[in-house]
A and B are shown apart, each in its own frame.
Chain A
Amino acid sequence: MIDLSTDCGGIKSPNPFWLASAPPSNSAYQNCKAFEAGWGGTVWKTIGGPVMNVCNRYGSLELNREKLVGINNVELISDRNIETNLKEIAETKRLWSDRAVVVSLMVESKKEAWQDIVKRTIDTGADGIELNYGCPHGMSERGMGAAVGQVPEYCKMITEWVTEVSSIPVLVKLTPNVTDIRFPARAVKQANADGIALINTINSIMGIDLDTLKILPSVAGKSSHGGFAGPAVKPIALHMVSQVANDPEVNLPISGVGGISTWRDAAEFILLGSSSVQICTAVMHYGFRIIDDLIEGLTNWMESKGFSTIDEIKGKALNQISDFGNFDLLHKTVARIDQGKCIHCNLCYISCEDAAHQAIDLKKVNGYNETTVKEEECVGCSLCALVCPVDECITMVRVDDESASKTWNELTSEFKDQGKPLTWENLAEFQKKYGIEIH
């Protein structure tokens, strides 16, 4: 029996799938509809001080007919007043006691303002609070959102104000628009936060309409940077999640956010240390109904892999993350092409020939092009396998005898011990010893 229930910093939910604080979690109607569909939790769209939104708010990155590969927005926090939101939050929590109702907050950087909104939120019966230190536009110019998230000292200060008065778990949502995500993460840890949510959206300009020359999205001819989200940001989010998860100075539960569309994405975030995952863009594209496949797909995968709880997979891939200096220089792979599967598109040939190491031959055999790897030229970069349109046609095969291994760190430390400077000549000598030829 697979158990998808999770606990993220003391916030419990029957499954790890939460709506991210965003347009889909704007109202009681939407959150209740999502719970009806099966969502495990929600982070209520950020409530706070008075704002007004503009048209148009969104821009889409379309890639080869795929819509919303990325979406950016200049939308602000909830434009409904605090009272209405708090009333709806209380009502939603009353109806859905088993789901996680987390409320995202953002008010001006004053202790009274923060402590007041926190207290009022606790009164709704909500399960937790998420501090929005990420919104990169509109709010940041007013000293909120990313303006806080980009300065670790501010992160710490405001988080302290909140944790001082909060009787429910406090998550802090971080902005990725920083040089090193670990610094704000450490700051909120020091301020006693219960968990970290990341990433918020990335500063972006969506594009330019080449007919009108207007920057997208355009608000009556004016534009600005907006927050970028959606499938395109997933690799960046995965990296930041892993950085925070692996940092011994942080060591807090993580709610992973950023480009999660499918159960596969969710599994990856969990494997890199997330306790729950938050989803927005995929819901904006397809609606709450995607929860069915999120739950079923994750369950089936866990079953096939012999996992039964989220805790078993949480952070399971983190130990592979290492420094380049610890990679084995003698691990040697080459590309192998399965001629039976090859459809003769020759993309492996042209990519290797023009952009890699000229290691693939193109020969006419019975009127067909046949591509073969010159293994002695192949550097094992895997570009050919990545461009090949046929599944499992090109595989990277390990060809070293696994008898030796040497990392860069080991090599340079040996050089040091032997009194050899790091020169091209000394490196060449090492390469020669192991039959490595650089063309």
Chain B
Amino acid sequence: MNRANKLTDEQYENNFEELTPPFTRNSAVSEAFRCLYCFDAPCIRACPTHIDIPTFIKKILTGNPLGSAKTIYESNWLALTCAKACPVDDLCEGACVLNEKGEKPIQIGRLQRYSVEYYLDSGKGNLFNKKSFNGKSVGIIGSGPAGLACGAELSLLGYKVEIYESDKVPGGLNTWGIAPYKTRQYDSLREVELIKNLGVTIHTCVTIGQTISFDELLNRHDAIFIGIGLGESENLDIPGENLKGVSGAVKLIKEIKKEKWSSIDIGRRVAVIGAGNTSIDAATNAKRLGAEEVTIIYRRSENEMPANNFEYELAKSDGIIFKFLTSPIEIIGNSSVEGLRCLKMELGEKDEHGRRKPVPVPNSEFEIPVDMVITALGQKFNAEFLELIPDIKISNRKLLVDTDTYQTGNPKVFAGGDCINGGKEVVNAAYDGKQAAHGIDRFLTNTP
């Protein structure tokens, strides 16, 4: 592969420096002061975990950051990752009434980070009273945000909780899937540690179906929660996909999250296929690793692009090139990638989701010279694993659960996170996990 030159250690650290620095106490209080302390605030409703945002902000203002952190953790066990990685423009901050007032919204994410880090740095133990052990145990598959949230909540409810993680490092996508300029592994592992300190056991390097069977797991525990997320990046299903220099975005970002920057080979010219938030992560990371030219290829137009505005702006400021209405048809090269053959597209009739369908423009084939292709068209659904579980139902690449209890078709099995929603934000998984814990509790205590 035609590799980009390696950078100096200093350049790498500069490139991956966090986008939003922490507040100082002084700046946090100043920002907290701007909050109007709305009643029945729109930001609370916009947060998928419904954190009582005005209350936690008010507590920063009064000099009660521990109380502030407690308010946050009452709703969300992954408060640190959410504070740093949530698409706040689309959630809490987008709903802030100050937008309507013609002012900048409160920096809710940054304030949340202030309180949460204050608590984590304080060395103070558990903020909540734990119910005494009720004699029951729950097994959780996957230590990503859904599994961690479910485990933490169950632990407080008095259950023995064991999380099974196939990787050797726990945390799921919080550990492996978020761009390093938003969160580092350290952040994710701090949250894992917090949850372990609640009494949750995490078994790493355990793959269900290989290390132990699902049946054995069912025997061991009174209930099971599945928080396995999704799999590797989807294939493009075009010729040349096996050439050297083709990588899935998920795999690449996992490599990057090891923070051994210089060990990662990146092409001089990189094409990223797809224009979702993960595509932007892959593109900006490639650029920050030293790629000279990074192009995002998307078959629809700017208007249909799934990436949110914050990510789009970030990519543009990183100098990422966007080729809209372009569809790749072949990756060219002898042994490694040398180019990408594409077709021009135009938008036709609306499809079943109401999005205009891209159709090829006749005789519009052209080639882009690239050295690396990163695929980011979403993640694979882990149907193979789910087939091991009796009585569950899958529809449209989603594991079906009761919307209230998160129970699957198998009464002892519950699920949440990306495997039930097709791939959303950390904050959605955090909510699912917590809600599912209560679904499990109701099931195991026969409470309607």
Q: Which residues from chain A sit less than 8 Å from chain B, CB to CB?
A: 64-65, 343-347, 349-350, 362, 368-369, 389-390
- Residues of B within 8 Å of A347, CB to CB, are 36-39
- Residues of B within 8 Å of A390, CB to CB, are 101
Whether B97 pairs with A349 at a CB distance below 8 angstroms is: no
Whether B101 pairs with A369 at a CB distance below 8 angstroms is: no
Docked Cα-Cα span, A227 to B223, in Å, equals 68
Closest CB in chain B relative to A211 CB, distance in Å: 11
Query: Given A65-B33, A389-B101, A344–B61 Cβ distance below 8 Å?
Result: no
Whether A343 pairs with B98 at a CB distance below 8 angstroms is: yes
Whether A345 pairs with B30 at a CB distance below 8 angstroms is: no
B40 sits at the interface (CB 8 A): yes
* Residue from B29, B41, B100 within 8 A of A65 (CB atoms): B29
Query: Given A349-B39, A369-B40, A344–B100 Cβ distance below 8 Å?
Result: yes
- Residues of B within 8 Å of A345, CB to CB, are 36, 38-39, 41, 97
B67 sits at the interface (CB 8 A): no
Query: Given A64-B61, A389-B101, A346–B38 Cβ distance below 8 Å?
Result: yes
Whether B101 pairs with A343 at a CB distance below 8 angstroms is: yes
Within 8 A of A (CB), among B96-127: 97-98, 100-101
- Residues of B within 8 Å of A349, CB to CB, are 39-40
- Residues of A within 8 Å of B30, CB to CB, are 65
B319 sits at the interface (CB 8 A): no
B409 sits at the interface (CB 8 A): no
Residue of chain A at shortest CB distance from B63: A210
Docked Cα-Cα span, A71 to B394, in Å, equals 68
- Residues of B within 8 Å of A362, CB to CB, are 40
B333 sits at the interface (CB 8 A): no
Report whether over half of chain A's contact residues are helix, strand or loop; otherwise say mixed: loop
Beyond A343-B97, A344-B38, list 14 extra A-B contacts (CB 8 Å): A65-B29, A65-B33, A343-B98, A344-B97, A344-B100, A345-B36, A345-B38, A345-B39, A345-B41, A345-B97, A346-B40, A346-B41, A347-B36, A369-B42
- Residues of A within 8 Å of B41, CB to CB, are 345-346
Closest CB in chain A relative to B53 CB, distance in Å: 13
Residue of chain B at shortest CB distance from A349: B39
- Residues of A within 8 Å of B98, CB to CB, are 343
Closest CB in chain B relative to A185 CB, distance in Å: 40
Closest CB in chain A relative to B85 CB, distance in Å: 26
- Residues of A within 8 Å of B42, CB to CB, are 344, 368-369
Supply 10 A–B pairs (Cβ within 8 Å), ascending by A. A64-B61, A65-B29, A343-B97, A343-B98, A344-B38, A346-B38, A346-B40, A347-B38, A347-B39, A369-B40
- Residues of A within 8 Å of B29, CB to CB, are 65
- Residues of A within 8 Å of B97, CB to CB, are 343-345
Docked Cα-Cα span, A389 to B37, in Å, equals 11
Identify the 9 closest CB pairs spanning chains A and B, nearest first: A350-B39, A345-B38, A343-B100, A346-B39, A343-B97, A345-B97, A345-B36, A65-B33, A343-B101
- Residues of A within 8 Å of B40, CB to CB, are 346, 349, 362, 369
Docked Cα-Cα span, A322 to B164, in Å, equals 78
Closest CB in chain B relative to A360 CB, distance in Å: 11
Closest CB in chain B relative to A105 CB, distance in Å: 43
Closest CB in chain A relative to B336 CB, distance in Å: 52
- Residues of A within 8 Å of B101, CB to CB, are 343, 389-390
Which of A65, A343, A349, A362 has the most chain B CB within a 10 Å cutoff?
A343
Docked Cα-Cα span, A349 to B36, in Å, equals 14
CB 8 Å contact bits of B41-82 with A (1 = contact, 0 = none): 110000000000000000001000000000000000000000
Docked Cα-Cα span, A388 to B36, in Å, equals 10
CB 8 Å contact bits of B18-44 with A (1 = contact, 0 = none): 000000000001100100111111100
Closest CB in chain B relative to A121 CB, distance in Å: 46
- Residues of B within 8 Å of A369, CB to CB, are 40, 42
Docked Cα-Cα span, A350 to B40, in Å, equals 9
Residue of chain A at shortest CB distance from B37: A347
Closest CB in chain A relative to B198 CB, distance in Å: 31
Closest CB in chain A relative to B359 CB, distance in Å: 36
Docked Cα-Cα span, A4 to B30, in Å, equals 38
Closest CB in chain A relative to B25 CB, distance in Å: 12
Closest CB in chain B relative to A62 CB, distance in Å: 10
Which of A64, A345, A346, A347 has the most chain B CB within a 10 Å cutoff?
A345
Docked Cα-Cα span, A303 to B216, in Å, equals 88
Docked Cα-Cα span, A344 to B98, in Å, equals 10
Residue of chain B at shortest CB distance from A64: B33
Docked Cα-Cα span, A203 to B212, in Å, equals 76
Residue of chain B at shortest CB distance from A367: B45
Docked Cα-Cα span, A343 to B36, in Å, equals 11
- Residues of A within 8 Å of B61, CB to CB, are 64
Closest CB in chain A relative to B46 CB, distance in Å: 10
Closest CB in chain B relative to A388 CB, distance in Å: 10
Residue of chain A at shortest CB distance from B45: A367
Docked Cα-Cα span, A369 to B95, in Å, equals 13
Residue of chain B at shortest CB distance from A351: B39
Docked Cα-Cα span, A65 to B28, in Å, equals 11
- Residues of B within 8 Å of A344, CB to CB, are 38, 42, 97, 100
Which of B37, B42, B61, B98 has the most chain A CB within a 10 Å cutoff?
B42
Residue of chain B at shortest CB distance from A210: B63
Residue of chain B at shortest CB distance from A371: B39
Docked Cα-Cα span, A345 to B95, in Å, equals 11
Closest CB in chain A relative to B137 CB, distance in Å: 41
Docked Cα-Cα span, A259 to B378, in Å, equals 63
Closest CB in chain B relative to A66 CB, distance in Å: 9
Docked Cα-Cα span, A390 to B97, in Å, equals 11
